[in-house]
Amino acid sequence: MLKTLTTLAAGLAVSFAAWAAPTVEMTTSLGKITLELNPEKAPKTVEMFLYNAKHGFYDATIFHRVIDGFMIQGGGFSQGMDEKKVLTPALQNEANNGLPNDRGTIAMARTQDPHSARVQFFINLKDNAFLNHRAPTDGRSWGYAVFGKVTQGMDVVDQIAKVPTGNQGQYQNVPTTPVVIKSVKILSEK
């Protein structure tokens, strides 16, 4: 009997461990989005995202690039399209972690330098296989590091995707009415 209970307890611990991933709630001007992060596959990226969330970096930023049928990008600009000062270092690209850029996943935005991601992220609106890691031969083939997925609020993501956009200065695909990220709150860290 004791052996059976021990086996059962061990099984429950494994099930709980598989379920217990860092979870954050992103409150936007259009509703809430809950994200489950994957520190096993993208440890440095998750660590940086949680650090920025803990320190309120994402509060009052906007989704500054919205392309319906592709992705919504945010995390680095204020409502006036002023880029927030970033104090954290660039990340080593973790796109070779096996997580694909599928609908509902969150990944790090970056420049053409594959190791330039810092704070900006995007949520995929469809399966974007061309953003996946292929080979580290050039900036494009490195891919974009997925580090989590939407578990609730995909309807909010889809609503953001449908907002009217236009040009603002040098930037394209900017929502004409800002979609504000009011806060990113950590619900559980592990």
For the stretch 91-150, pLDDT in tens is 999 999 999 999 999 999 999 999 999 999 999 999 999 999 987 666 668 999 999 999
Supply the mean pLDDT for the chain: 89
**Whether the predicted pLDDT of 165 surpasses 90:** yes
pLDDT at 140: 66
Q: How confident is the model at residue 11 (pLDDT cuts 50, 70, 90)?
A: very low
Global pTM reads: 0.88
pLDDT at 189: 81
Measure Cα distances from 7 to 12, 15, 16, 20, 95 in Å.
9, 12, 14, 20, 36
Q: How confident is the model at residue 16 (pLDDT cuts 50, 70, 90)?
A: very low
Segment 152-162 shows an average pLDDT of 98
Q: Which CATH number fits domain 22-85+95-188: 3.40.640.10, 3.60.15.10, 3.40.50.300, 2.40.100.10?
A: 2.40.100.10
Q: Where are the domains of the chain?
A: 22-85+95-188
pLDDT at 20: 59
Q: Are 108 and 76 in contact (CB under 8 A)?
A: no
